[in-house]
Amino acid sequence: MRELAVKGYYLPEPLRAEISGFSYSVHEFPEQDAVMRVEFPVVTPRFLEKVIAFLKEKKAYLESLPVATIADILDRASEQWLDDTSPKKVAAVEAISLFTGFSPEMVRESIRVEHLSSRRDDLLRALRSELGDPAFLDGFHYSKERGCHSKATGPELTAAIFSSNIPGLPHLSVMRSFLVKAPIMGKASREEPIFPPLYAETLKEIDPELGNCLAILSWHGGDEEIEKILFNHCSVIIVYGSEATCTSVCKRVPPGTRVISHSHRIGFGAVGREALNKKAAPGLAQKIAYDVSTFDQFACISPQVYFLEEGGAVSPKEFMPLLEQAMKTQEQKAPPARLNIEDAAVLRHLHNTYELRELAGENVLMRAAENLSWTVVYEPLKEFLSSPLHRFIRIVPLPDLQDIVNYLAPIKGYMQNAGLAVGEERRAEMFNLFARLGVSRICPPGKMPTPSMMWHHDGLPCLGEMVRWTDAEMF
Amino acid sequence: MATIYHRITEYIKSSFTNRDENAFNRLALEVFSFQYTNIPIYQKLCDKRGAAPGKVSSWRDIPGISTEGFKLFELFSKPPAEAKRIFSTSGTTQGVKKGRALFSEEGLELMDTAILENARRCLFPDSGKYRFLIIAPPPEKAPHMIMAYGMEQLKKKYGLPGSRFLIGERGFVPEELAKELKLAEHENISIALIGASLGFLTFFDYCALQGLAFNLPAGSRTLDAGGYKGKEREIARDEFLSLGSRFLGIPPAMSINLLGMTELGSQFYDNALKNHFNGSPDKRCKENPPWTRTLVFDPRTMKEVPLGEKGVLWHLDLTNLERVAAIQTDDIGRRCEQGFEILGRARGSEARGCSLSIEEITKKS
């Protein structure tokens, strides 16, 4: 039996003496013949106050670093997390895979895509994109547009509530906070408390003093006494979670607090008939399969439905065997997540249903792995249907791609990411349609899981939202 | 030669005292063969699974049809005109078709036999008569509700004068039930309080609010069914029992739950009341009447799971002769020594991660 002991927290060295006690959660994985024990410091109000006071003092250190230096350190951290041979990465992949159920290959891929877009150049470009010039963070700097000297200042302390769905993602909030020179107090999800502390360790190894600018703790989400203390001290709060979680946080913060919410969102794809030609179709199928398989659809950027226009050289139905083949290829590259009984019951029920509908001669078609690893369904839906996830994609045929609005209008404001393949001449109309519906990112199929650092995540300038400006109009 | 309806009826009547595994298997295979021949969509499903009469030698290998099949098709072995009664599922989610179960005259008789035999064994092993107070609409007001039909059969057989259904034009009015219970206390008449689980909860809430508590005459009992499907409120069985004891004065052993499905002609009772009268110490679970079987499959592999492990429930019910006898549900449960437990319905990824489900949007709006 494998026994793993994992730390579900990170604290700057001087704060460790303040820990009054630990709690442990023990997780058994009989099918993997493994057991994991996760250690959490008990978070009392007094302890949290101390951590917060300590972190706030470190604001001065961050302010003393040029933003380019911070970007350099973050770049080195990403470089290390991209190295599959680093002992920390190896340990992380094993533990996260066991804990979350994602396959080791998928954990590795997830960390890879998250850190590949987190290099020095990406970080500085993201700052330029949202602030105009990173130099505004280092001191008063002349702005030609404004005709004055300006400085952008990040909060004294950022609070971040991390999610568990994407391994390797919480580093994004840490990077954003450090880029605007704010210390950060992160709450790790009990469902994935492994990666954030390890990432913090990496930062400490590269720059020990930067390692004093963040803490990762965990408590049961919604603990009002604890969270009230945190929210009272942080003027910026980044929240990943369900609608309910984000709404609850928004209700509990003091007036003037900026809450940057990343709640649940839906992704989808749309392919015009001109893209469904014989030559391009097999490659397109591989790209769609990659979009669907990456993160096992547990990301807000993952597609739940792909709309395919009829009338091309390859019909949506003819596309099915290609997609089937491509899903198999993806399964081999990165096997799907472990299925629990509840999720499997839903998938099995759907498989049984489509099997019956197909037998009855309905115009539906299912191609799926017998072991539920992936499912492709051709179905002329009347309205948008969400996927049960776990690589379950519906291919919806549309006589005209413009009809997509009928499916998307009812979920306006809830859409995140659109994979789009249409001819040059149709792009503008589709872009505008998606913009009207509140889609925050449009990309070609095959690129859905890999947004850039510069993307307006959830349609927001996430870095821009974190700073406040001082304009000196005296010169 | 007796028809298959008669032979199943005979089996039902004798099987509690004379459990005959071989006879069950023979009948189950005969039912399978009958349904394979008479229900075309089922035949197609069996062919796809490589199962056909002659090829299947054990009831365990009879292919189960998804409960969804009852929504998609008229699963009926006779011409539709011979359907005397049609029951339908409540339809728990928006826009979803209701499941329908069709019964011929003979089919209804078969079900009636099963209902009464099962109740005799599990609900009234002490064979008395009771005043029935039923938290359900009367069958004439809810002709498609199988629970109302079944409770009417019980009332007819075991009910004393004064028995009545309690859901009317105004819905369920807890004051009316309270009045009836006061009367029963006063007259010292044993009560069979049966009906919707949610109705019980409503009544317990009402009692708590009004500061009421009854101490129903000895021999009184409760039977609740229907669960909390699709409802926000859900309580554990232990809590239900303690509320029943607190507000009704019903000891836990006299309070049992029933799993019934529109798709099945038979129901599964908790064995607690029966065990109480038999002096058996077995742990409470749902017991299969001998003309039914329940298996638990791992939905990932569709192989049977070991005793005590979770999986999806598969039921085989000989009273489903006219429909399909083997049903694959998406209910999560586990097998225990004496029967099985139901743990809940498959609900899927609760919008884990930041993938949003439509259900969450609609719930919000």
Kindly give the parts of chain A with pLDDT less than 50.
none
Question: With bands split at pLDDT 50, 70 and 90, how would you rate the model's confidence at B356?
Answer: very low
Q: CB-based contact (8 Å) between A367 and chain B?
A: no
Q: Between A and B, how many CB-CB pairs are < 8 A?
A: 136
Nearest to B212 by CA among B190, B180, B172: B180
pLDDT value of residue A227: 96
CB contact under 8 A, B356 and A264: yes
Alpha-carbon gap: B92 to the closest alpha carbon of chain A (Å):
15
User: How many angstroms separate the CA atoms of A169 and A449, rounded?
Assistant: 12
B209 has pLDDT over 50: yes
Taking residues B105-118, report their average pLDDT: 97
Alpha-carbon gap: A359 to the closest alpha carbon of chain B (Å):
7
Radius of gyration of chain B (CA): 21
pTM, 2 dp:
0.92
User: How many angstroms separate the CA atoms of A93 and B17, rounded?
Assistant: 59
Q: Is A355 strand, coil or helix?
A: helix
Q: Do β-strands A158-161 and A184-187 pair in parallel, antiparallel, or remain unpaired?
A: parallel
B234 has pLDDT over 80: no
User: How many angstroms separate the CA atoms of A446 and A323, rounded?
Assistant: 13
Interface test with B, best of A166, A359, A362 (most B CBs within 10 A): A359
Note whether B321 and B107 are within 8 A (CB). Answer: yes
Question: With bands split at pLDDT 50, 70 and 90, how would you rate the model's confidence at B353?
Answer: very low
Taking residues B180-191, report their average pLDDT: 97
B354 has pLDDT over 50: no
Burial of A326 (0-12, 13-18, 19+ CB in 10 A): buried
Q: CB-based contact (8 Å) between A110 and chain B?
A: no
Q: Is A26 strand, coil or helix?
A: strand
B357 has pLDDT over 70: no
- C-alpha B298 chain-centroid distance: 22
Find the closest chain B residue to A246 by CA distance: B354
Nearest to A457 by CA among A209, A162, A176: A176
CB contact under 8 A, B66 and A353: yes
pLDDT value of residue B347: 55
Q: CB-based contact (8 Å) between A240 and chain B?
A: yes
pLDDT value of residue B89: 83
CB contact under 8 A, A166 and B330: no
pLDDT value of residue B195: 94
Could you give all domains of chain A from N- to C-terminal order, each with its CATH number? 44-264 (3.40.605.10), 266-443 (3.40.309.10)
Q: CB-based contact (8 Å) between A163 and chain B?
A: yes
B276 has pLDDT over 80: yes
B98 has pLDDT over 90: no
B23 has pLDDT over 50: yes
Which of the 8 DSSP states describes residue B347? -
- Write the residue in B68, B311, B358 that is nearest to A352 by C-beta: B68
- From chain A, the residues in CB contact with B96 under 8 A are none
pLDDT value of residue B352: 33
DSSP for A420-465, please give it.
EE--HHHHHHHHHHHHHTT--EEE-TT-TT---TTS-GGGS-TTGG
**CA dihedral over A324, A330, A334, A336, signed as positive or negative:** negative
- From chain A, the residues in CB contact with B301 under 8 A are 371
Instruction: Quote the ipTM score.
Output: 0.90
Residue type at position A175: M
Tens digit of each residue's pLDDT (9 = 90 or more) over B57-88:
999 999 999 999 999 998 999 999 999 999 99
Average pLDDT score, chain B? 90
DSSP for B173-188, please give it.
-HHHHHHHHHHHHHHT
pLDDT value of residue A451: 94
CB contact burial A133-152 (16+ within 10 A = b; e otherwise): bbbbbbeeeebeeeeebbbb
Alpha-carbon gap: B298 to the closest alpha carbon of chain A (Å):
7
pLDDT value of residue B363: 41
Could you give all domains of chain B from N- to C-terminal order, each with its CATH number? 4-106 (no CATH), 114-290 (3.40.50.980)
- From chain A, the residues in CB contact with B356 under 8 A are 243, 263-266, 300, 386, 414
Question: With bands split at pLDDT 50, 70 and 90, how would you rate the model's confidence at B127?
Answer: confident
Note whether A71 and A120 are within 8 A (CB). Answer: yes
pLDDT value of residue B349: 38
pLDDT value of residue A242: 87
Phi-psi region of B326 (alpha: psi -120 to 50; beta: other; left: phi over 0): beta
